[in-house]
């Protein structure tokens, strides 16, 4: 029943709290961290609103303190995935028929609960589970997730208002239906906000969802689920499962009701998923929507007119915040020969001042990388650079996994612009620098454009306006998010819709209308008020008559 068109205020970005010494938010966060350390969470899957445990219990440890146990989760298999699909299909009819204001109310309430009652516990979970410092956790699990929820409610309200014109005697309308079937949300470890956004954006549109999180993000994901349930999310709308990726793929991608996947993760995994879906097309009732935001090899291109301090800061923060584990992290830099030495000196000064350690000491800028697999992969890149004559490690280069997965922020300098660490995604605290002849700016732009298969983010740093314009034009397809005089990372919902093309994904811009359209299937309805009762056209009448 429609008794009014309800408006939602234009959202504003959630203000970032700073956790400065002596601030009340710092004390609240410290308490939440201490409480979390003293509790061992028992984390079941949530299927059809029920808490589901299995015989396989897996322990969770902070990446920076592997000797401490935060809790346990229960790993499921095919049975649990099938149960999650059944629960999603069962919940579908009543969920898609629920009025928009009731659906919207659940997600707006979730945002408010995160902003208020659960802010510090939720940030503490992200800090401990994913080894993020207080500021990085605040902009992720608090601000960005709150923004995703509030902005998506606003964007979807705008979409629902988009209606076709009607000629006299006719009323045309568009119903923005949910997809037919269920949606799979497959989420990465590195952003709690992304883990929350992928299932909720599809669910908001009236879809029901099977949500599989990364094993290394289960701890904070359990908070998302708890808060959604407290906000009134009906049973079966989002079903949270902890299962191995390959088992999930086998069940989900061969199900006739599979209607779409909302994925964020590595390009390799996404490519495999795409192939499997392609090979199974005959099984599905509908063409599945495939949305994937994937890897990056994000560049910082510096012009000879650049400001040295601006460049060094963009590199220090862009490459090493959250240990470089952002798809948008600066990982290759092109420095012009006239100021390269000054930039390196300033950058080294900054990097040498970073403190590295656990998240509970708020003086630490650098924490641990997510797990042993990641640690070993990053360490192998560093080892190979140490043994290569073409390159020099000018900062960091050491690592240690005895207590936690710590890798020093590392800067490699190479004279080969195609050196492996200039091309491949490492996903860790490693930046590679290439110094180019300052008079070969345009040729170097070509190099930047062609060096890596990815096209996620990138920056131009320059004071010269012509250089900025040239880079913006020549690098048009090299990045889906392009920055001028800034680091290539830190996109804000509503301000810089995020996503890249080429090997970086389908560029469906998380946290924007573009993304929400992918979870909707429009039905156009034409109603004719005075339908014709004769087939004839006026021109059929004979002139002689
Ligand atoms: N473009 C973006 O917006 C964006 C944002 C964040 C992270 N990322 C990318 O994500 C990657 C890091 O995250 P990650 O390590 O969690 O990625 P990942 O690809 O290893 O995992 C992503 C998700 O897929 C699951 N998975 C892994 N193998 C699977 C399989 N064979 N079948 C089904 N599911 C499978 C994982 O368990 C996880 O839930 C980086 O490449 C990074 O660039 C991209
Ligand atoms: N939205 C994030 C990128 C997420 C990738 O990991 C940023 O721009 O910092």
Please answer whether residues 78 and 54 qualify as being in contact, where contact means their C-beta atoms are separated by less than 8 angstroms: no
Question: What value does the mean pLDDT take over residues 91-112?
Answer: 98
- The reported pLDDT for the residue numbered 539 is 85
Pocket lining: 73 vs ligand 1, CB cutoff 6 Å? no
Residue 416: per-residue pLDDT: 96
Q: What pLDDT does 40 receive?
A: 98
pLDDT single digits (tens) 269-284: 999 999 999 999 999 9
Dihedral class, residue 499 (left if φ above 0, else alpha if ψ from -120 to 50, else beta): left
Report the pLDDT value the prediction gives residue 214, as an integer from 0 to 100.
98
Three-class HEC string of 342-369: HHHHHHHHHHHHCCECCCCCCCCCECCC
Residues facing residue 411 across a β-bridge: 395, 431
Cα Rg, the chain, nearest whole Å: 25
**Is 424 noted as a catalytic residue in this protein?**
no
Q: How far does residue 217's CA lie from ligand 1's centre (Å)?
A: 11
How confident is the model over 305-352, as pLDDT tens digits? 999 999 999 999 999 999 999 999 999 999 999 999 999 999 999 999
Atom of ligand 1 minimally distant from the CA of 187: 39
Among 411, 406, 407, residue whose Cα is nearest residue 422? 411
Quick one: pLDDT at residue 329?
Answer: 98
Of residues 412 and 540, more confidence is placed in 412
Query: Given strand 182-186, what is the order of strands in its sheet?
Result: 50-52, 45-47, 238-241, 209-212, 182-186, 258-264, 289-293
DSSP result, 374-438? HHHHHHHHHHHHHT-TTEEEEE---EE-SSS-EE--EEEEES-TT-HHHHS---SSEEEEEEE-T
Of all residues in the chain, the percent with pLDDT exceeding 70 is 100
pLDDT-derived band at 6 (thresholds 50, 70, 90) equals confident
266 CA distance to ligand 1 middle (Å):
4
pLDDT at 79: 98
Nearest ligand to the CA of 187 is: 1
pLDDT for 390 equals 86
Task: Look at residue 545 in the predicted model and tell me its pLDDT.
Answer: 55
CA–CA gap between residue 145 and residue 50 (Å, rounded): 24
Q: Report d(CA 210, CA 202) in Å as an integer.
A: 11
Predicted confidence at residue 370, as pLDDT, reads 98
Per-residue pLDDT tens over the stretch 20-47: 999 999 999 999 999 999 999 999 999 9
What average pLDDT score do residues 214-237 get?
Answer: 98
Nearest alpha carbon, ligand 2 atom 9: 490
Q: Is the CB of 211 under 6 A from ligand 1?
A: no
User: Where does the pLDDT of residue 98 fall: very low under 50, low under 70, confident under 90, or very high at 90 and above?
Assistant: very high
**Best probe residue, ligand 2, of 195, 325, 326 (max atoms within 8 Å of C-beta):** 326
ipTM for the predicted complex comes to 0.98
Contact status, residue 285 vs residue 180, Cβ threshold 8 Å: yes
Q: Which ligand is nearest to the CA of 499?
A: 1
Q: For residue 541, name the pLDDT band (cuts at 50, 70, 90).
A: confident
Average pLDDT of the segment spanning 372-389: 97
Point out the ligand 1 atom lying closest to the alpha carbon of residue 191: 6
What value does the mean pLDDT of the chain take? 97
Domains of the chain in sequence order: 24-164+172-294+505-526 (3.40.605.10), 298-484 (3.40.309.10)
∠ Cα 70 231 69 (to 5°): 0
For the whole prediction, is pTM greater than 0.80? yes
**What digits encode the pLDDT tens for the residues 43-82?**
999 999 999 999 999 999 999 999 999 999 999 999 999 9
Does the CB atom of residue 194 touch ligand 1 within 6 A? yes
Q: In sequence order, what are the residues at sequence separation of 6 or more whose Cβ sits closer than 8 angstroms to the Cβ of residue 176?
A: 159, 160, 205, 520, 522
Could you read off the pLDDT of 227-236 as tens digits, one per residue? 999 999 999 9
Average pLDDT score over residue span 10-17? 97
Catalytic residue among 293, 360, 408, 413: 293
- What residue's CA is closest to ligand 1, atom 5? 327
| CA atoms in the 13 A half-sphere facing the CB of 131 | 30
pLDDT at 117: 98
Q: Is any atom of ligand 1 closer than 6 Å to the C-beta of 511?
A: no
Binned at pLDDT 50, 70 and 90, residue 402 comes out as very high
Q: Which ligand is nearest to the CA of 489?
A: 2
Q: 287: how many CB neighbours lie within 10 A of its CB? A: 11
Residue 425 CB less than 6 A away from ligand 1: yes
Segment 184-215, tens digit of pLDDT: 999 999 999 999 999 999 999 999 999 999 99
For residue 374 and ligand 1, the question of a CB distance below 6 A is answered with: no
CB 282 within 8 Å of CB 204: no
Interstrand relation of 520-528 and 170-178 (parallel, antiparallel or unpaired): antiparallel
507 CB near ligand 1 (under 6 Å): no
Q: Is 102 left (phi over 0), alpha (psi -120 to 50) or beta?
A: alpha
Ligand at shortest distance from the CA of 491: 2
- 332-345 pLDDT per residue, tens: 999 999 999 999 99
Ligand 1 probe mutation, 188, 190, 242, 323, most atoms within 8 A of CB: 188
Among 188, 148, 219, 40, CA closest to 494: 148
Q: How far apart are CA 181 and CA 532, in angstroms?
A: 38
**Which three-class secondary structure state does DSSP give residue 289?**
strand
**Distance, CA of 250 to CA of 268 (rounded, Å):** 17
Q: Which of 218, 265, 369 to mutate to test the pocket of ligand 1 (most atoms within 8 A of CB)?
A: 265
Per-residue pLDDT reduced to its tens digit, 475-488: 999 999 999 999 99
């Amino acid at each position: 029943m429609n008794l009014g068109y309800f408006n939602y205020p234009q959202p504003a970005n959630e203000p970032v709290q700073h956790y400065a010494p002596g601030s009340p938010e710092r004390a609240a966060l410290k308490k939440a961290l201490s409480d979390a350390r003293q509790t061992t969470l028992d984390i079941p899957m949530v299927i059809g609103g029920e808490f589901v445990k299995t015989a396989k219990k897996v322990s969770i440890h902070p990446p920076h303190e592997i000797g401490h146990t935060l809790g346990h989760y229960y790993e499921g298999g095919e049975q649990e995935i099938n149960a999650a699909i059944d629960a999603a299909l069962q919940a579908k009819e009543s969920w898609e028929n629920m009025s928009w204001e009731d659906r919207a109310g659940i997600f707006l309430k979730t945002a408010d609960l995160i902003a208020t009652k659960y802010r510090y516990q939720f940030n503490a979970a992200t800090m401990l589970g994913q080894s993020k410092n207080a500021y990085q956790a605040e902009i992720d699990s608090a601000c960005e997730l709150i923004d995703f929820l509030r902005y998506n409610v606003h964007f979807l309200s705008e979409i629902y208002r988009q209606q076709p014109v009607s000629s006299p005697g006719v009323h045309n309308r568009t119903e923005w239906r949910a997809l037919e079937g269920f949606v799979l949300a497959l989420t990465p470890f590195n952003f709690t906000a992304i883990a929350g956004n992928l299932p909720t954006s599809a669910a908001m549109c009236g879809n029901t969802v099977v949500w599989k999180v990364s094993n290394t993000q289960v701890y904070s994901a359990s908070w998302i689920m708890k808060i959604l349930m407290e906000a009134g999310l009906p049973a079966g709308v989002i079903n949270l499962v902890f299962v191995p990726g390959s088992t999930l793929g086998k069940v989900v991608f061969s199900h006739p009701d599979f209607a779409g996947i909302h994925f964020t993760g590595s390009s390799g995994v996404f490519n495999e998923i795409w192939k499997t879906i392609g090979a199974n097309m005959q099984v599905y009732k509908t063409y599945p929507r495939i949305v994937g935001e994937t890897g990056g090899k994000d560049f910082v291109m510096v012009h000879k007119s650049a400001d040295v301090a601006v460049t060094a800061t963009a590199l220090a923060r862009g490459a090493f915040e959250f240990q470089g584990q952002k798809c948008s992290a600066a990982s290759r830099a092109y420095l012009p020969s006239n100021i390269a030495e000054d930039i390196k000196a300033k950058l080294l000064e900054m990097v040498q001042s970073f403190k590295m350690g656990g998240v509970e000491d708020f003086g630490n800028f650098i924490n641990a990388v997510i797990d042993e697999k990641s640690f070993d992969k990053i360490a192998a890149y560093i080892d190979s650079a140490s043994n290569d004559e073409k390159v020099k490690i000018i900062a960091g280069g050491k690592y240690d996994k005895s207590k936690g997965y710590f890798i020093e922020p590392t800067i490699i300098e190479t004279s080969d612009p195609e050196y492996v660490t200039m091309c491949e995604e490492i996903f860790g605290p490693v930046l590679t620098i290439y110094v180019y002849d300052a008079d070969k700016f345009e040729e170097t732009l070509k190099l930047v454009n062609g060096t890596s298969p990815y096209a996620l983010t990138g920056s131009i740093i320059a004071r010269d306006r012509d250089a900025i314009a040239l880079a913006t034009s020549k690098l048009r397809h090299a990045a889906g998010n392009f920055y001028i005089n800034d680091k290539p990372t830190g996109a804000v919902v509503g301000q810089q819709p995020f996503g890249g093309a080429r090997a970086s994904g389908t560029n469906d811009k998380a946290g924007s209308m573009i993304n929400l359209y992918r979870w909707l299937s429009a039905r156009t309805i034409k109603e004719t008020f005075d339908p014709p009762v004769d087939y004839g056209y006026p021109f059929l009448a004979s002139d002689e008559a």
